[in-house]
Structure 1
Amino acid sequence: MEWSSDDDKHRLDGDVYREAFRSTEAPALIADPNFVIRDVNPGCLDLLGYESGELVGESAATIAGDDRIYEDVVEHLSRGETWTGRFIAQTKAGANVFGRGFAAPIIADSTVEGVIAIFVDTAKQQQYENASEVLNRLLRHDLRNELNVMYGHIQRAQSESSIDEVTESLEKAQDKILEIVHKSERARDLRNLLERSYSASNRPVRLDIVLNNTLVEVMQQYPDAEFKFQVFPEVIVRADDLLATAIEAVLENAVTHNDADDPVVRVSVEVHDDHVILAIADNGPGVPESQRDLIFGREEYDQLHHGTGISLFFADSVFDSYDGEIWVEDNDPRGAIFKMRLERP
């Protein structure tokens, strides 16, 4: 099999291949025999953050996030062989995107005229694996800890002679059981998110409608708390069906961890050109800066001190799947403000 010279690269400009590879949503590029990029489809530009024409004329090594993998691809293609396997692409901003790659020679009249490469983004799969690991850690620690506390209260109830004390201990045990049930529900929601991560795609969602419906449910669930908000702007964000559950988790957190005599939760929305900031503020004890990653399950002090629960970890995972984020700030004069950034389509 003979490789064509660089002078013959004009044969790569034919309309046939151009329309064929641009019709697929999968990120793809075409390079000449010297592995210089000659064309890039819209899916590849979107994935890597480049504008049309910026990659044309650049070496394919420009977008390789792992030199060893790239060298393996080149070796296969240089021998006229196809290549498939795990690939790491590098975006214009310098971030790595993990996925599966396929590359093959473009052969015409027994001559290799160039190569075509197709990339399948597996970032959601990577997110699934990372989130599953943290989820398992949270479930193992939290459930074991809550069960131990419940066991202690029941044991105390059995040994106490005072009826009032027995009643109090049993009530505390019941509360702990309810906490376990609630965490199990959040775990189920997160499991649904992870199981759908391979095929789920974000879509336009009316944030104001989701907020109104979610607030009605939470206000009925917590009648002793005061929820303050104004008419929300009619704005569309990129999300899916789990948005309401994630927002509900943050609202519930603002009430259940509020130690004020009269819990107050304020909900507001700021609309920007390309994103929206949803803020949920409370008048509770606030969150120390040293614990602001811990509460989302993003880190742990040691094997005995983990994130504080499933709900915020679930919300963090959901917003991350939307290419958004959630963080917490101090409220004035007291409490915390949980802010969530959502992208506009």
Structure 2
Amino acid sequence: MEWSIDGDDDRLGGKVYRQAFRSTGAPALIADPNFVIRDVNDSGLEFLGYRPGELVGRSAAEISGEDDIYADIVDHLSRGETWSGRFVARTSEGDKVYGRGSAAPILVDGDVEGVVAIFVDTTKQQQYENASEVLNRLLRHDLRNELNVMYGHIQRAQSAASKEEATESLQKAQKLVLEIVRKSERARDLRDLLERSYAATNRPVRLDIVLNNAMVEVMREFSDATFRFEVFPEVVVSADDLLSTAVEAVLENAVTHNDADDPVVTVDVDVREDEVVLSVSDNGPGVPEPQRDLIFGREEYDQLHHGTGISLFFADSVFDSYGGDIWVEDNDPRGATFKIRLERV
């Protein structure tokens, strides 16, 4: 049987069927009985990050993000049954995307001659749920600890034998109050990011202008720290209004978690063909290898390891929404270097 969407058979081919398949807004694909992909519509190509024709002739298993779900889909379709539910796919870059959908066998005279699958992209919803869960965990952990420490300083101030001791404890409590306020502002920014994530679209943003404004803010706030940077190159990246806040969060982290007597933060920009890598280096204690995912909230805490709070989690979420990334490396001779990759427009 000729079942290809580009064939002339009225059951599956023809201009009407072909146009209906192409114009469908939801990602869709057609495969043969052996689950070899025969066609993917434009939405499906965009969803998975492939160019036209790249997936044709390849097994549908290659785009599956979870073996158990794929096996369940194959099992249903092989028996001539329709499958529906949650699925995980893998893009051309190897990233996981999430969705819900339905896959149905194409039956001709009782025989399975192919399969058609249509999906709804729920990646943003999955990111929202993941971010909400981590945000709640971070807030519970950070606020509880800092409020307990602040309460201890206030108690010590009340029972201090001298005015100097009381003043020192109250100053520490004051710093903790300011830190809690900063984290609450980050939580608000992250809430705004999550709430608008469904309809958010990135746009061209001048990175050098964002960096100049961010440097002014952090130098005003952390006047005791030294910031080293040269004239930033004029370059445009894919981002939105939250880029400045996310960059400030990384710069603030380089100072607030710096144990050096004279904190120094160095900022560099490496412009490449398709991307820009922003480096923020400090002379602090550095980040041990086992904790490099913990500090971004990507893994659960335990009793011995704790992240640095909501700021880095917020920054990680923002850069991820731009199709970028953030990671940490060792700085030479001491400290950490945070690398931020952004896509050039």
TM-score w.r.t. length of structure 2: 0.84
**Aligned partner of 1:70: which letter?**
I
In structure 2, C-alpha distance between the alignment counterparts of 1:116 and 1:154, rounded to whole Å: 66
- What number of residue pairs does the alignment pair up? 335
In structure 2, C-alpha distance between the alignment counterparts of 1:63 and 1:296, rounded to whole Å: 28
Q: Do the aligned partners of residues 339 and 8 (structure 1) sit closer, same or farther apart at CA in structure 2, a change above 3 Å counting?
A: closer
Greater shift, 45-54 or 328-337, is seen at 45-54
Contact 1:297/1:306, CA 8 A, preserved across alignment: no
Deviation at 1:185, TM superposition (A): 1.1
In structure 1, C-alpha distance between the alignment counterparts of 2:35 and 2:336, rounded to whole Å: 53
**Aligned partner of 1:7: which letter?**
E
Q: Do the aligned partners of residues 188 and 94 (structure 1) sit closer, same or farther apart at CA in structure 2, a change above 3 Å counting?
A: closer
Out of 67, 70, 74, which is 2:70 matched to? 67
Deviation at 1:92, TM superposition (A): 5.0
Q: Do the aligned partners of residues 8 and 148 (structure 1) sit closer, same or farther apart at CA in structure 2, a change above 3 Å counting?
A: closer
Deviation at 1:18, TM superposition (A): 3.0
Deviation at 1:203, TM superposition (A): 2.9
What is the match of residue 333 of structure 1? 333
RMSD over aligned Cα, in angstroms?
3.0
Q: Which runs of 5+ in 1 are unaligned?
A: 1-5
Deviations 1:137-157 (A, max 9, x none): 211111111111111111111
Deviation at 1:93, TM superposition (A): 6.1
Greater shift, 239-248 or 317-326, is seen at 317-326
In structure 1, C-alpha distance between the alignment counterparts of 2:247 and 2:205, rounded to whole Å: 14
**Aligned partner of 2:224: which letter?**
D
TM-score w.r.t. length of structure 1: 0.84
Deviations 1:85-136 (A, max 9, x none): 322334456654320114467899xxx9976432222222222222222221
Deviations 1:148-197 (A, max 9, x none): 11111111111123122112211111111111111111111122222223
Contact 2:77/2:103, CA 8 A, preserved across alignment: no
What is the match of residue 244 of structure 1? 244
Greater shift, 194-203 or 235-244, is seen at 194-203
Alignment of 1:140-219 (within 5 A): 140-219=140-219
Alignment of 1:40-189 (within 5 A): 40-58=40-58, 60=60, 63-64=63-64, 65=66, 66-71=69-74, 74=77, 78=80, 84-92=84-92, 96-103=96-103, 116-189=116-189
Greater shift, 64-73 or 314-323, is seen at 64-73
Contact 2:3/2:13, CA 8 A, preserved across alignment: no
What is the match of residue 318 of structure 2? 318
**Aligned partner of 2:313: which letter?**
F
Q: Which runs of 5+ in 2 are unaligned?
A: none
Deviation at 1:280, TM superposition (A): 0.9
Residue identity over aligned pairs, in percent, reads 73
What is the match of residue 2 of structure 2? 7
Contact 1:69/1:87, CA 8 A, preserved across alignment: no
Q: Secondary structure at the match of 1:241?
A: coil
Q: Secondary structure at the match of 1:7?
A: coil
Deviation at 1:75, TM superposition (A): 6.5
What is the match of residue 3 of structure 1? none
Q: Do the aligned partners of residues 33 and 295 (structure 1) sit closer, same or farther apart at CA in structure 2, a change above 3 Å counting?
A: closer
Contact 2:324/2:341, CA 8 A, preserved across alignment: yes
Greater shift, 232-241 or 28-37, is seen at 28-37
Deviations 1:47-79 (A, max 9, x none): 334442233344555544423441366279x46
Deviation at 1:34, TM superposition (A): 7.3
In structure 1, C-alpha distance between the alignment counterparts of 2:37 and 2:212, rounded to whole Å: 49
Q: Secondary structure at the match of 1:153?
A: helix
Deviations 1:173-224 (A, max 9, x none): 1111111111111111122222223332333322222112222222222233
In structure 1, C-alpha distance between the alignment counterparts of 2:329 and 2:3, rounded to whole Å: 60
